[in-house]
Amino acid sequence: EQQEEDTLRELRLFLRSVNDRLMQDRRFKAFTKPVDKEQVPDYHSVVKQPMDLSTALSKIDQQKYTTVREYLHDIDLIWKNALEYNPEDDPYDRQIRHRACALKDTVHAIIKYELEKDFERTCEQIKEAR
Ligand SMILES: CC(=O)c1csc(NC(=O)C2C[NH2+]C2)n1
Protein backbone atom coordinates (compact mmCIF):
# COMPACT_ATOMS: atom_id res chain seq x y z
CA GLU A 1 0.00 0.00 0.00
CA GLN A 2 1.08 3.65 0.03
CA GLN A 3 3.33 3.35 3.10
CA GLU A 4 5.21 0.50 1.38
CA GLU A 5 5.65 2.56 -1.80
CA ASP A 6 6.90 5.48 0.28
CA THR A 7 9.45 3.18 1.98
CA LEU A 8 10.67 1.70 -1.32
CA ARG A 9 10.96 5.20 -2.83
CA GLU A 10 13.10 6.24 0.14
CA LEU A 11 15.21 3.08 -0.35
CA ARG A 12 15.84 4.02 -4.01
CA LEU A 13 16.87 7.55 -3.00
CA PHE A 14 19.30 6.17 -0.41
CA LEU A 15 20.78 3.61 -2.82
CA ARG A 16 21.21 6.26 -5.55
CA SER A 17 23.07 8.52 -3.12
CA VAL A 18 25.41 5.63 -2.16
CA ASN A 19 25.90 4.50 -5.78
CA ASP A 20 26.58 8.07 -7.00
CA ARG A 21 29.33 8.57 -4.41
CA LEU A 22 30.98 5.31 -5.47
CA MET A 23 30.73 6.21 -9.19
CA GLN A 24 32.28 9.64 -8.59
CA ASP A 25 35.28 8.22 -6.71
CA ARG A 26 38.12 8.00 -9.23
CA ARG A 27 39.60 4.98 -7.39
CA PHE A 28 36.57 3.01 -8.56
CA LYS A 29 36.63 3.98 -12.25
CA ALA A 30 37.38 0.37 -13.35
CA PHE A 31 34.18 -0.71 -11.58
CA THR A 32 31.80 1.83 -13.17
CA LYS A 33 31.05 0.01 -16.44
CA PRO A 34 30.68 -3.66 -17.54
CA VAL A 35 34.02 -5.22 -18.55
CA ASP A 36 34.28 -5.12 -22.36
CA LYS A 37 34.62 -8.66 -23.84
CA GLU A 38 36.70 -7.23 -26.72
CA GLN A 39 39.25 -5.59 -24.42
CA VAL A 40 39.35 -8.42 -21.84
CA PRO A 41 38.45 -11.59 -23.81
CA ASP A 42 38.91 -14.16 -21.00
CA TYR A 43 37.07 -12.11 -18.36
CA HIS A 44 33.72 -13.88 -18.73
CA SER A 45 35.31 -17.35 -18.65
CA VAL A 46 36.71 -16.52 -15.18
CA VAL A 47 33.99 -14.27 -13.70
CA LYS A 48 30.62 -16.04 -13.70
CA GLN A 49 28.49 -13.17 -12.34
CA PRO A 50 29.83 -9.84 -13.67
CA MET A 51 28.55 -6.70 -11.95
CA ASP A 52 29.39 -2.98 -12.10
CA LEU A 53 28.14 0.31 -10.69
CA SER A 54 26.20 1.36 -13.82
CA THR A 55 24.34 -1.95 -13.86
CA ALA A 56 23.56 -1.49 -10.15
CA LEU A 57 22.15 1.99 -10.90
CA SER A 58 19.94 0.53 -13.66
CA LYS A 59 18.69 -2.08 -11.20
CA ILE A 60 17.85 0.67 -8.67
CA ASP A 61 15.83 2.52 -11.35
CA GLN A 62 14.13 -0.70 -12.46
CA GLN A 63 13.09 -1.21 -8.82
CA LYS A 64 15.00 -4.53 -8.68
CA TYR A 65 16.13 -3.89 -5.07
CA THR A 66 13.64 -4.13 -2.18
CA THR A 67 16.30 -4.15 0.55
CA VAL A 68 19.77 -2.68 1.11
CA ARG A 69 21.03 -6.26 1.56
CA GLU A 70 20.16 -7.08 -2.08
CA TYR A 71 22.07 -3.98 -3.29
CA LEU A 72 25.03 -4.82 -1.05
CA HIS A 73 25.11 -8.35 -2.52
CA ASP A 74 25.67 -6.81 -5.98
CA ILE A 75 28.36 -4.39 -4.78
CA ASP A 76 30.10 -7.29 -3.01
CA LEU A 77 30.12 -9.11 -6.41
CA ILE A 78 32.03 -6.17 -7.93
CA TRP A 79 34.98 -6.25 -5.54
CA LYS A 80 35.00 -10.06 -5.13
CA ASN A 81 35.12 -10.47 -8.94
CA ALA A 82 38.06 -8.04 -9.09
CA LEU A 83 40.01 -9.97 -6.44
CA GLU A 84 39.28 -13.23 -8.31
CA TYR A 85 40.27 -11.91 -11.74
CA ASN A 86 43.39 -10.07 -10.59
CA PRO A 87 45.35 -12.50 -8.38
CA GLU A 88 48.82 -11.85 -9.81
CA ASP A 89 51.65 -10.24 -7.87
CA ASP A 90 52.13 -7.53 -10.50
CA PRO A 91 51.57 -3.77 -10.15
CA TYR A 92 48.30 -3.66 -12.12
CA ASP A 93 46.68 -6.57 -10.30
CA ARG A 94 47.86 -5.25 -6.90
CA GLN A 95 46.45 -1.78 -7.65
CA ILE A 96 43.02 -3.07 -8.72
CA ARG A 97 42.89 -5.40 -5.67
CA HIS A 98 43.68 -2.40 -3.44
CA ARG A 99 40.84 -0.47 -5.09
CA ALA A 100 38.48 -3.46 -4.73
CA CYS A 101 39.24 -3.56 -0.99
CA ALA A 102 38.66 0.21 -0.79
CA LEU A 103 35.29 -0.24 -2.55
CA LYS A 104 34.30 -2.94 -0.03
CA ASP A 105 35.28 -0.87 3.01
CA THR A 106 33.70 2.32 1.61
CA VAL A 107 30.28 0.85 0.82
CA HIS A 108 30.06 -1.03 4.13
CA ALA A 109 31.09 2.10 6.09
CA ILE A 110 28.51 4.31 4.32
CA ILE A 111 25.77 1.78 5.06
CA LYS A 112 26.88 1.27 8.69
CA TYR A 113 26.81 5.05 9.37
CA GLU A 114 23.90 6.19 7.22
CA LEU A 115 21.35 3.36 7.17
CA GLU A 116 18.93 3.15 10.10
CA LYS A 117 18.43 -0.42 11.31
CA ASP A 118 14.66 -0.18 11.49
CA PHE A 119 14.51 1.21 7.93
CA GLU A 120 16.25 -1.94 6.63
CA ARG A 121 14.02 -4.10 8.88
CA THR A 122 10.94 -2.45 7.33
CA CYS A 123 12.28 -3.14 3.81
CA GLU A 124 12.94 -6.80 4.72
CA GLN A 125 9.35 -7.11 6.02
CA ILE A 126 7.98 -5.68 2.76
CA LYS A 127 10.14 -8.18 0.83
CA GLU A 128 8.85 -11.11 2.93
CA ALA A 129 5.23 -10.03 2.46
CA ARG A 130 5.58 -10.09 -1.37
C1 LIG B 1 37.00 -4.76 -13.51
C2 LIG B 1 38.21 -5.63 -13.32
O3 LIG B 1 38.35 -6.30 -12.29
C4 LIG B 1 39.24 -5.68 -14.37
C5 LIG B 1 39.16 -5.05 -15.59
S6 LIG B 1 40.55 -5.38 -16.46
C7 LIG B 1 41.21 -6.33 -15.21
N8 LIG B 1 42.44 -7.00 -15.21
C9 LIG B 1 43.29 -7.03 -16.34
O10 LIG B 1 43.03 -6.42 -17.34
C11 LIG B 1 44.52 -7.86 -16.29
C12 LIG B 1 45.68 -7.33 -15.51
N13 LIG B 1 45.83 -8.62 -14.84
C14 LIG B 1 44.51 -9.08 -15.39
N15 LIG B 1 40.38 -6.39 -14.14
Q: What is the pLDDT of residues 98-120, one digit of tens each?
A: 999 999 999 999 999 999 999 99
Q: Is the CB of 96 within 6 Å of ligand 1?
A: yes
Yes or no: say if 60 and 16 are a contact pair by the CB < 8 Å rule.
yes
pLDDT one-digit tens code per residue, 74-87:
999 999 999 999 99
CA distances from 121 to 68, 69, 117, 118, 124 (A): 10, 10, 6, 5, 5
> What is the value of ipTM here, to two decimals?
0.97
Q: Is the CB of 83 within 6 Å of ligand 1?
A: no
Residues of the chain with pLDDT under 50: none
Q: What is the pLDDT of residue 86?
A: 98
Q: Which atom from ligand 1 is nearest to the alpha carbon of 93?
A: 13
